[in-house]
Amino acid sequence: MNTLTEAFLQSFQLMITLDETLVEVVLLSLSVTFKAVSLACLIGLPLGTALAVLKFPGQKTLVVLFNSFMGLPPVVVGLVVYLILSANGPLGPLGLLYTPTAMIIAQTILVTPIIVAHSRQIIVLLAEEYDETLRSMQASRMDIMGTLLWDSRFSLFTTVLAGLGRAFSEVGAVMIVGGNINHFTRIMTTAIALQTSRGDLALALGLGIILLVLTISINALAYGLKTTWEKHSYA
């Protein structure tokens, strides 16, 4: 039996029996990813909107920076977060290194630029259209940004999904700051890396298949939700 067939069989077996360790790893993966992406949205959406609407010195530089940061190497982000959270680092006393929180922080840093850059792009287009109307209504800047954000919500869906994809599949940063500790900071991607290094390629690939299935499910679910929501509120 070749590795690929074995991988499929293993993944089916793990999924059907709801293997306890697998469930634990999947739940942590989902939790870390969703929290990181939510944080990235909390930071990134207002920032992206501000960059689209406000004109201030250095605004163009910031846009270029955030566009570039979409390609931040995860390992480098992991190292920086490691040094900051390290026991004798600036935030060492918080005791966050090798915890899920550290993983959330690292992933938030990786995902935020994606949210900022994409949302700015989307909102700039809508801002052009709404500009005169909102200004003639004497809307404050907060009102303008709020209106643009809310009215782009369906276009921003894809942005959030892109962020989810990046976070969910990321391994380099979480490995360094999470430590891949069994039952504590082990998630899908670090488990795959571990099984690869153990030479258990079938299990590694099996986990990979499960990761893919999960990603597709999340996207399908999100798409379904979006369509329903859109139907009920019209864009």
| Residues within the interface to another protein (CB under 8 A) | 35, 38-39, 42-43, 86-89, 92-101, 104-105, 129-130, 132-140, 142-143, 147, 151, 179-182, 184, 194, 196-202, 233-235
Which one, 95 or 224, has the nearer CB to another protein? 95
Find tokens 């200004």 and name the residue: 135
What is the CB neighbour count within 10 angstroms for residue 95? Answer: 12
CB of 123 to another protein, least distance (A): 13
CB of 91 to another protein, least distance (A): 11
Which one, 181 or 213, has the nearer CB to another protein? 181
CB of 197 to another protein, least distance (A): 3
DSSP-assigned letters across all residues of 81-114? HHHHHSTTSTTGGG--TTSHHHHHHHHHHHHHHH
Dihedral over alpha carbons 143, 38, 113, 180 (to 10 degrees) = 170
| Nearest residue to 50 (alpha-carbon basis) of 162, 128, 142 | 142
Question: Both tokens of residue 53?
Answer: 């609407």
Which one, 68 or 95, has the nearer CB to another protein? 95
CB of 166 to another protein, least distance (A): 17
**How far is the C-alpha of 67 from the C-alpha of 226, rounded, in Å?**
26
Which one, 68 or 181, has the nearer CB to another protein? 181
